[in-house]
Structure 1
Amino acid sequence: MTHTQLQPLASETLRTTSIPVDLTPSTPRPLYLLVTGPLSPGDQLDISADARVTNDCGRPSGTRYTVGVGWHLWCYQYVGPGINTGTWSRISHSQGANVTPEGHHLDLHISRLHTVPEDWPAGGRMVVVLQADAHSTAWQKNGGGDCLTVDTGYGQLIVRPWVAPPAA
């Protein structure tokens, strides 16, 4: 089956500039988000995303510590502006790494080829989201309010849609 590539979509608009550090990796924040055009089951999305975070936890006079960062791609069906209450589906494996006080910065990169599932409504638009979380066993060292900074100007989310030919 030969797919036809459509115009790539890209977003460099950060949804948040900080990720709270806590104990669990189950509190992600959306970093980048974009809405596709109409899709049908069998279409494919070539997705890539980059971001960078900075570990300033404990600066200037608190305790410095290492923070684990996890990042992943998700999607849900677009139903209107500002509405994200649909069922979220993870479309990538999790990436993860530690950002140490000495390393200070961590580049996040992920890419995935995602096939639109068979139960997708024909013509439905998809929201693709890069999310990340920050966690550490030392998260309360400075009172529990530390955050990683998501650096402006160091990332983007790109989706290259490939549409399947119409059924014969």
Structure 2
Amino acid sequence: MPLTPIEPLASETLETTAIPVDLASDTYKILYRVVTGPLSPGEALDISADARVSNAVGYPNGARYTVGVGWHLWAYSYTNPLRISGPWWRISHLMGSNATPDLHHLDLHISRWYRVPEDWPPGHRMVIVLRADAHSTAWKSNGGGDTLTVDSGYGQLIVRPWVAPPPAPPAPVEA
């Protein structure tokens, strides 16, 4: 099926400004969220996202330590736009890196070409989110409760829909 790009959708509105540091690597927080227009099976989304986090754990008088950061793209149906729990599905590979005290700022980037699944209800909207997690084996060094800062003004989520072109109008009928 030939696809046609339509106007991109974007968000620069942070959903959270802090990611709690813990031991688990699956306690994600939503950084950005974009709601698509109606989609049909076989259509596609060209997705890219950027964000920046800062590691200031322990500053100025606590223990400084490295924090692992994992981030990826997820999706869910817009039937419940503020859904906090499933069904969600991950639509990208897992990205990860370490935010060391010396590095301080860690840039997060991810992109993905995502094909709308064949079992997608035609005309339903999808929510695309960038999620991230912060984890460290030293997470209790300052009594727990440390966070990575999600820096405002340093990121965005862009979704570029590629949709089926509208059907051609019927040919005029000659009398």
TM bracket, shorter-chain basis: over 0.9
Partner of residue 35, structure 1:
35
Q: Match of 1:128, SS?
A: strand
Identify unmatched segments of 5+ residues in structure 2. Answer: 168-175
The amino acid across from 2:73 in the alignment is L
Within-5 A mapping of 1:83-162: 83-162=83-162
| SS of aligned partner of 1:124 | coil
Deviations 1:66-94 (A, max 9, x none): 00000000000001443444410100000
Q: In the alignment, is the contact (CA less than 8 A) between 1:5 and 1:163 conserved in 2?
A: yes
8 A contact 1:77–1:86 mirrored in 2: no
Between 1:77-86 and 1:5-14, the stretch displaced more is 77-86
Higher alpha-carbon Rg: 2
CA distance in structure 2 between the aligned counterparts of 1:96 and 1:80, rounded to whole angstroms: 29
Query: Which letter maps to 1:6?
Result: I
Structure 1 gap ranges (5+): none
Q: 1:60 Cα deviation (Å)?
A: 1.0
Q: How many residues matched? A: 167
Residue identity over aligned pairs, in percent, reads 69
Task: Write the distance in 2 (CA, Å) between the matches of 1:53 and 1:23.
Answer: 18
Counterparts of 1:139 and 1:155, CA distance in 2: 26
Show structure 1 runs of 4+ deviating over 2 A. 80-86, 164-167
Q: Counterpart in 2 of 1:14?
A: 14
Aligned twin of 1:60: 60
d(CA) in 1 for partners of 2:85 and 2:66?
33
Q: Structure 1, residues 5-35: CA drift from partner, whole Å, max 9, x if none?
A: 1100000000000000000111000000010
- The two structures have a TM-score, normalised by structure 1, of 0.96
User: Hey, which of these two has a bigger chunk of strand by percent?
Assistant: 1
